[in-house]
């Protein structure tokens, strides 16, 4: 291990291919997009925006593979997943470096997200136990037994966001495939290179042809997947308007749907919080992944009279973060994931200023020496933000904090529950009573107590509430198993 910038795996990755029916296939689409490194501004690849015909090829192959795959015993079905886990461990650093290069997150964050990816493979390896049904002797009447079994449904798809290029598809497909379904992944067109490398490992792991496929593309490609009559279920992670639209459309077509939408996460700090311990964790919540996590803190709610002291310490810590290219291990915050994201965030900062927020730390116009073409926005902190203003209500998805001061814990809870979103929320406190009250009353799918990024592990469900989630069964954990299987009851008399 040496200091300095870690090497890029490649300077240019070429044009990505689709992986259909166990083969690498060049897309025939004339529509393509460049893939840019957001830290350097360099073009590092090209992604095709696949056609509806190519989607049909992938889904048809998945459908063809389904019957034989569902008849493969569960303990055999998980063998390629075990091999894939080993391949991930062997290529762990390389995947993380590609991820940093195309997305911008710092290498620690990339490594952490690859770990979360592997966690989901490991979870799915337990499917022989997780898939077991229920059996009750004399369950229906004397001499009449009743059993409930789980069965796979067919072809599923996942449409992934840009903020976690490796991990998000793995919330879904390993469990789905281990349950006996087949699957088609569509990575985000902004960050397709990590999945390209991962699918090389998937190919090497030796899944039967058609069981797991990948189609590159944009919204049109995604729409073709959602509308395909052979697709039985859709998992989506992205913005709220798109999540809502997919939920409505796929639902109307009779498909299973789980759609994770946007977020506006409220982080409450009580006067009794141990700031020495909590401050670095709070800073990581707001600025980790450059604020581009669905679990990132967005609104800092300060309760009581100690707000000024917290603000001073928070701003000092935020202003000390080292920005740069994420392949430099000492960098603490990378760029945002692309030019359009950057423009959107800058526009919202302008709006926050225009609406009267007091700008304590301004990340606009920040320059990172050597990376002048990068999409960098420094930590940005607004104080005394009007709860009705745009930056207090809308998802910014960037390193921008809105501070709101309130008198009591009840006020803080009311404020958080006033949001249309309900993805995550955290409280920093030394009081068990306050923590209990917060976790009991806040309407959010993921609650942190002295934890700023309450990210459920692979064996727990991951999903929000209100406008942050559309569906009933969340991704990951037992919810995932339920989503990817149907229940069948058999009542027998002999």
Partner 1 sequence: MKQDFPEITSFGTLFAFAQALEEGLIRMSEEASTKGGPKAAEAGQAHKKHAKRAKQLERLRRERLNEVVLQPLEGMNRDAYAPDLCCPEDASGSALALAKAEEKAALFYEEAAEKAKSVLGGMERTLKKLAAESRELAASIRE
Residue choice 46, 56, 108, 200 for contact with partner 1 (CB under 8 A) = 108
125 among known catalytic residues: no
Site string for partner 1, 326-365 (x = CB under 8 A): ---xxxx---------------------------------
Alpha helix (H) residue ranges in 330-389: 339-354
Tell me how far, at minimum, the Cβ of 115 lies from partner 1, in Å: 5
109 binds partner 1 (CB under 8 A): yes
111 binds partner 1 (CB under 8 A): yes
Residue choice 321, 359, 447, 449 for contact with partner 1 (CB under 8 A) = 321
What distance in Å separates the CA atoms of residue 116 and residue 265, rounded to the nearest whole number? 21
168 binds partner 1 (CB under 8 A): no
Q: How far apart are the first and last CA of the chain?
A: 68
42/108 with CB nearer partner 1: 108
Of 125, 259, 294, 375, the catalytic one is 294
Q: Residue 123 carries which DSSP code? A: H
115 binds partner 1 (CB under 8 A): yes
Residue choice 12, 219, 322, 436 for contact with partner 1 (CB under 8 A) = 322
Binding segment (CB under 8 A) for partner 1, from list 40-48, 194-202, 262-270, 325-333: 325-333
4 binds partner 1 (CB under 8 A): yes
Tell me how far, at minimum, the Cβ of 439 lies from partner 1, in Å: 17
- The CA-based angle 478-481-486, given to 5 degrees, is 130
24/92 with CB nearer partner 1: 92
Strand pairing category for 144-152 and 485-493? antiparallel
Binding segment (CB under 8 A) for partner 1, from list 48-56, 242-250, 318-326, 343-351: 318-326
Binding segment (CB under 8 A) for partner 1, from list 51-59, 231-239, 314-322, 368-376: 314-322
Cβ atoms of 190 and 216 within 8 Å: the answer is: no
117/341 with CB nearer partner 1: 117
Residue choice 84, 177, 453, 473 for contact with partner 1 (CB under 8 A) = 453
The dihedral over CA atoms of 316, 319, 322, 326, expressed in degrees to the nearest 10, equals: 120
107 binds partner 1 (CB under 8 A): yes
Alpha helix (H) residue ranges in 307-460: 307-319, 339-354, 390-393, 409-417, 432-441
The dihedral over CA atoms of 354, 356, 357, 359, expressed in degrees to the nearest 10, equals: 70
Strand pairing category for 297-303 and 265-269? parallel
Residue 143 to residues 4, 137, 250, 391, 431, Cα–Cα distance (Å): 73, 8, 43, 65, 56
What distance in Å separates the CA atoms of residue 1 and residue 481, rounded to the nearest whole number? 40
Cβ atoms of 102 and 334 within 8 Å: the answer is: no
152/456 with CB nearer partner 1: 456
390/450 with CB nearer partner 1: 450
Among positions 69-98, residues that touch partner 1 (CB under 8 A) are: 89, 92
Size of the site for partner 1 (CB under 8 A): 34
429 binds partner 1 (CB under 8 A): no
50/100 with CB nearer partner 1: 100
What distance in Å separates the CA atoms of residue 465 and residue 99, rounded to the nearest whole number? 29
234/454 with CB nearer partner 1: 454
116/256 with CB nearer partner 1: 116
Site string for partner 1, 226-255 (x = CB under 8 A): ------------------------------
Among positions 265-294, residues that touch partner 1 (CB under 8 A) are: 277, 280-281, 283-284, 288, 293
Tell me how far, at minimum, the Cβ of 6 lies from partner 1, in Å: 10
455 binds partner 1 (CB under 8 A): yes
Residue choice 317, 337, 377, 391 for contact with partner 1 (CB under 8 A) = 317
Catalytic center residues: 294
Q: Which residues bind partner 1 (CB under 8 A)?
A: 1-4, 89, 92, 107-109, 111-113, 115-116, 119, 277, 280-281, 283-284, 288, 293, 295, 317, 320-322, 329-332, 451, 453, 455
């Amino acid at each position: 291990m040496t200091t300095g910038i870690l090497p890029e795996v490649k300077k240019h990755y070429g044009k990505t291919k689709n992986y259909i029916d166990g083969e690498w296939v060049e897309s025939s689409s004339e529509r393509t997009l460049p893939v840019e490194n957001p830290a350097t501004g360099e073009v590092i690849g090209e992604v095709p925006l696949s056609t509806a015909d190519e989607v049909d090829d992938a889904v048809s192959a998945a459908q063809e593979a389904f019957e034989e795959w569902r008849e493969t015993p569960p303990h055999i079905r998980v063998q390629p997943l075990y091999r894939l886990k080993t391949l991930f461990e062997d290529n762990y650093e390389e995947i993380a470096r590609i991820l940093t290069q195309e997305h911008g997150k710092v290498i620690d964050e990339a490594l952490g997200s690859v770990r979360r990816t592997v966690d989901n493979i490991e979870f799915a390896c337990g499917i022989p136990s997780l898939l077991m049904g229920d059996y009750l002797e004399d369950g229906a009447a004397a001499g009449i037994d009743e059993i409930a079994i789980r069965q796979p449904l067919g072809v599923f798809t996942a449409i992934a966001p840009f903020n976690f290029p490796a991990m998000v598809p793995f919330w879904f497909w390993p469990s789905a495939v281990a349950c006996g379904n087949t699957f088609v992944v569509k990575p985000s067109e902004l960050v397709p290179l990590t999945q390209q490398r991962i699918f090389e490992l998937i190919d090497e792991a030796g899944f039967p042809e058609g069981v797991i496929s990948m189609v590159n593309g944009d919204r049109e490609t995604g729409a073709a997947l959602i509308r395909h009559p052979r697709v039985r279920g859709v998992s989506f992670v992205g913005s709220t308007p798109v999540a809502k639209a997919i939920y409505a459309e796929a639902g109307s077509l009779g498909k299973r749907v789980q759609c994770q939408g946007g977020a506006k996460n409220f982080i409450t700090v009580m006067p009794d919080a141990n700031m020495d311990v909590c401050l670095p964790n709070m800073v990581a919540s707001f600025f980790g992944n450059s604020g581009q996590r669905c679990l990132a803190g967005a609104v800092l709610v300060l309760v009581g009279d100690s707000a000024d002291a917290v603000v001073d310490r928070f701003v000092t810590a935020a202003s000390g973060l080292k920005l740069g290219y994420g392949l430099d291990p000492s960098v603490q915050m990378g760029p945002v994931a692309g030019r359009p994201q950057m423009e959107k965030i800058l526009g919202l900062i302008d709006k926050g200023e225009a609406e009267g927020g007091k700008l304590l730390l301004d990340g606009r116009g920040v320059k990172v020496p050597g990376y002048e073409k990068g999409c960098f926005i420094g930590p940005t902190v607004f104080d005394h933000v009007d709860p009705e203003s745009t930056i207090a209500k809308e998802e910014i998805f960037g390193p921008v904090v809105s501070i709101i001061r309130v008198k009591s814990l009840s006020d803080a809870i009311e404020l958080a529950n006033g949001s249309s979103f309900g993805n995550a929320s955290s409280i920093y406190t030394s009081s068990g009573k306050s923590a209990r009250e917060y976790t009991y009353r806040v309407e959010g799918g993921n609650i942190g107590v002295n934890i700023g990024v309450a990210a459920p592990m692979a064996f727990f469900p991951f999903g929000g509430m209100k406008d942050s989630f559309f569906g009933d069964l969340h991704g990951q954990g037992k919810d995932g198993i339920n989503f990817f299987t149907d229940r069948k009851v058999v009542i027998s008399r002999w």
